[in-house]
Structure 1
């Protein structure tokens, strides 16, 4: 029997603030909120979700796991996310790659990919 992917858990200095940032970025909604845990999902019934929990230390190294976003317009989405508080980061990706690396307000890296071409 296989497992079902329920959530991706994100350690955060300010879980509620970061959860709300990601909910706005992804068009998700808050589906559960307690002082030590806040979950967002596309809909209450749809998995997986993102769960934000408290972390006592700040992030200081490159993520080993990150989210990739694929918008219909990469340039417009990067501009929107930067206007929301994301920032450009260099993790050694080099020039000419099909993605742009950003970091959320707590420094967690994620990629904004180019639109997928015909398969």
Structure 2
């Protein structure tokens, strides 16, 4: 039996990080249904402490998700999950953004202009990549 999955990235501020990654990948931040959130609060299933305001909308504090514009059939969902502590050690896994060798430098320039930090350049035979960190320090590669 095969299973679907989503990728989860811990974050101290999930909504801005979801916005950053949606821009980085050309994906979309999933909308959160404010009326549904208010309904759950009204029924006592959640509290105001479970929410925050982001870009003028009421959202769940615990996280934000992004998805490929073509939907989950194209790529798994990425969820940015609230955690209390900032990142402190190297990731054990990371995302690779594959843009093609001719586009790496331009994409690195675009992402660093938006807050990424260049960490390392690597090469293996004819293949090369640049390892960056997102605004919260999560490593990823552009190849």
**DSSP 3-state at the match of 2:24:** helix
2:88 aligned partner? 60
| Structure 1: segments with no counterpart, 5+ residues | 114-119
* TM-score (structure 1 length as normaliser): 0.84
Give the drift of 1:14. Answer: 0.4
Q: Which has the higher helix share?
A: 2
Does the CA contact (< 8 Å) of 2:61 and 2:82 recur in 1?
no
Based on CA coordinates, which of the two structures has the bigger radius of gyration?
Answer: 2
* Runs of 4+ that moved beyond 3 A: none
1:116 aligned partner? none
**DSSP 3-state at the match of 1:51:** strand
Give the drift of 1:35. Answer: 2.0
**What is the root-mean-square deviation in Å for CA atoms of aligned residues?**
1.7
Q: Output the CA distance in 1 between the equivalents of 2:99 and 2:80.
A: 23
In the TM superposition, 1:1-119 aligns within 5 A as: 1-5=1-5, 7-33=6-32, 34-43=60-69, 45-46=71-72, 47-72=75-100, 73-90=103-120, 96-97=123-124, 98-113=128-143
Does the CA contact (< 8 Å) of 1:39 and 1:50 recur in 2?
yes
* TM-score (structure 2 length as normaliser): 0.70
In the alignment of these two chains, the number of paired residues is 109
